[in-house]
Amino acid sequence: MVNKKYKKWTGSGRNSALPVFVWFLCLLIACKKDKDKEVFVPADEITTSVTDLIPDKETKKVSAVLNFKNIEAIDHISVIKSGGSSYSQNISRQELSTPYTFSYLVQASDPESFRLLLRAYYKDGNASNQLSLNVDNRRGFFVRKVSRIARVTGKSLANELLPNPNNTAGKWNVGGTDLGIVWEMAPQTYGVFFGDTFGQDFVPNTANPGPNGGSWRSNVLAFSNDNQLADGFSFSSMATDNTGNAREIIPGGKDQSGNGNLTSIPSAAIRANGADYVHYFNIKNWTGWITNHSGLYKSVDNGQTWTKCETVLFPASSNFGMAGYFKKDGYVYMIGTRAGRSNPAYLARFKEADIENPGKYEYWNSTSGNWVTGDESKASVIINEQVGELSFLYNTKHKKWIIAYFNESRYNITMRTAADITGPWSNPYELASGKEYAQLYGSYFHPLSASGDDLYFLMSMWMPYNVFLMKAELADMGGL
């Protein structure tokens, strides 16, 4: 029957093509009518500028501002939850606007991470693609995100996309250097001490990382008025010699015999009692970090000239051979270690006016629960593990002491927190991993990190032997 019908319809002879033409014409007209009935469904019907959401600490809500491209064709928005307890919600067209603020109240049963999946359903029965909102629902205090913001020193490497606002190689003959100890000299004015420094001819050497090249200076000093660090850390000037090159501040002997004065390395800096001070250690031999002594240099002219504080001398065996400083409640607090990266941390404090009088330094003794004056041997361990180059501060928003240091065994920059400077200190958080940032070390907080959620710190990398600005985002979400 089918064959006969087909044969009769198509026919044969002179006019057989006409019915076929008519058939195709009808088919095209029908297709066009069907197409005219279709509603265009853009893949990104629902859009938002932020898809990673964090609950508000007080209200426990997450919110996103949504926009719609074809809102008049929408019947409703469907919301479901991926992960955790089941949840669904329909938002009718009458409730929608563009823009529209969507909110979700986080439940106690929700996991630490889940997604809210939104899809638009149209009046003709079609549906849009799905929009995924990712909810970070971790509780308590934690580091949310860590990123490398910019290069601080040296020349950019080939294919390096990081901002490099300072061009220290071309401006001040600083091609390779490390550390980057930042302190506030005056409101919105900062000093930055760097370690062993080499000239603009410095070229990173994968076979022999670290210091290379000429113009060796044991340390150099930069100045900054930059208070907006989201795009990098800019210098206004450096302490220079009469040729415009960054000059050495703390003398280093450059004796490479292993038995003399090799170099002088800054480890902490502070403005106290109207003057600026830098704590340094003088190295005899890097094998074993053998030091001759540690001490202080002082500037009374905003960092332009420096003199040695003859009254302050820490012997090679001191547990404050390397240190960090922070001022709070009328004291300068000092956390120290023996020179190197294999030793625990100890705590001391002193009044600003007593910084040049070690006999008035007070050392925390956990056994007695008291501060002991003038006797370093009474200082107790406050962090009992490998503490390398360190810095610390008190964050006023989170009401926590925060310390960061290089930990050799974990091969990372470690952070710990405490409600009280004497401890107990928290379990370690990882700020940066050597697996991601090879041969990392040093972790010096910028003073702007003492408030808010953004923790900025300067971090060194042995290859390419330069300093980078890092940012960690802190969160304290409490509990539900």
Cα radius of gyration rounded to whole Å, the chain = 32
% pLDDT > 70, the chain:
90
The reported pLDDT for the residue numbered 476 is 86
Better pLDDT: 210 or 333: 333
Residue 89 in this model has a pLDDT that exceeds 50:
yes
Mean pLDDT of 287-292: 96
Mean pLDDT of 321-348: 97
Residue 347 in this model has a pLDDT that exceeds 70:
yes
Name the least confident of 140-149, 167-176, 365-374: 140-149
The answer to whether the CB of 297 falls within 8 A of the CB of 278 is yes
pTM to 2 decimals?
0.82
Residue 338 in this model has a pLDDT that exceeds 90:
yes
Assess whether the previous peptide bond of 99 is cis (omega < 30° from 0).
yes
Q: Write out the H or E segment, with its range, that includes residue 172.
A: helix 168-172
Please state which CATH number belongs to domain 142-476: 2.115.10.20
Residue pLDDT, tens place only, 377-431: 999 999 999 999 999 999 999 999 999 999 999 999 999 999 999 999 999 999 9
Residue 362 in this model has a pLDDT that exceeds 50:
yes
With H, G, I as helix, E, B as strand and everything else as coil, classify residue 448: helix
Residue pLDDT, tens place only, 290-310: 999 999 999 999 999 999 999
The reported pLDDT for the residue numbered 9 is 32
Pairwise CA distance, residues 325 & 335, whole Å? 7
Residue 140 in this model has a pLDDT that exceeds 90:
no
Give residue 162's pLDDT band: very low, low, confident or very high (50, 70, 90). Answer: very high
The reported pLDDT for the residue numbered 204 is 87
Give residue 258's pLDDT band: very low, low, confident or very high (50, 70, 90). Answer: very high
Residue pLDDT, tens place only, 232-245: 999 999 999 999 99
The reported pLDDT for the residue numbered 213 is 81
Backbone angle region of 391, left / alpha / beta, with phi > 0 → left and psi within -120 to 50 → alpha: beta
Residue 46 in this model has a pLDDT that exceeds 80:
yes
The answer to whether the CB of 219 falls within 8 A of the CB of 194 is yes
Q: Which H, E and C letters describe 46-83, residue by residue? A: EECCCCEECCCCCCCEEEEEEEECCHHHEEEEEEEEEC
Contact partners, residue 105, CB within 8 Å, separation at least 6: 59, 60, 61
Residue pLDDT, tens place only, 1-10: 333 333 333 3
Assess whether the previous peptide bond of 424 is cis (omega < 30° from 0).
yes
Question: Quick one: DSSP state of residue 178?
Answer: -
Site of tokens 């927190």 = 417
Site of tokens 């907080």 = 445
Give residue 353's pLDDT band: very low, low, confident or very high (50, 70, 90). Answer: very high
The CA-to-CA distance between both ends of the chain, in Å, stands at 74
Contact partners, residue 221, CB within 8 Å, separation at least 6: 191, 192, 193, 194, 238, 239, 246, 249, 303
Two tokens, residue 425: 């200190």
Site of tokens 């270690």 = 337
97 to each of 40, 69, 77, 100, 277, how far by Cα in Å? Answer: 19, 11, 12, 5, 59
The answer to whether the CB of 363 falls within 8 A of the CB of 378 is yes
Give residue 85's pLDDT band: very low, low, confident or very high (50, 70, 90). Answer: low
Residue 181: is it exposed, middle or buried by C-beta count within 10 angstroms (0-12/13-18/19+)? buried
Pairwise CA distance, residues 183 & 364, whole Å? 24
Task: Tell me the β-bridge partners of 351.
Answer: 331
Residue 124: is it exposed, middle or buried by C-beta count within 10 angstroms (0-12/13-18/19+)? exposed
The most distant pair of C-alpha atoms in the chain lies apart, rounded to whole Å, by 121
Q: What angle do CA 465, 472, 151 make, to 5 degrees?
A: 30
Mean per-residue pLDDT of the chain: 91
Mean pLDDT of 31-55: 71
The reported pLDDT for the residue numbered 83 is 72
Give residue 212's pLDDT band: very low, low, confident or very high (50, 70, 90). Answer: confident
The reported pLDDT for the residue numbered 19 is 54
Give residue 11's pLDDT band: very low, low, confident or very high (50, 70, 90). Answer: very low
Give residue 479's pLDDT band: very low, low, confident or very high (50, 70, 90). Answer: low
The reported pLDDT for the residue numbered 328 is 97
Residue 13 in this model has a pLDDT that exceeds 50:
no
Choices 3.40.50.300, 1.10.10.10, 3.40.50.970, 2.60.40.10: CATH for 46-137 = 2.60.40.10
With H, G, I as helix, E, B as strand and everything else as coil, classify residue 32: helix
Give residue 17's pLDDT band: very low, low, confident or very high (50, 70, 90). Answer: very low
Better pLDDT: 216 or 26: 216
Give residue 84's pLDDT band: very low, low, confident or very high (50, 70, 90). Answer: low
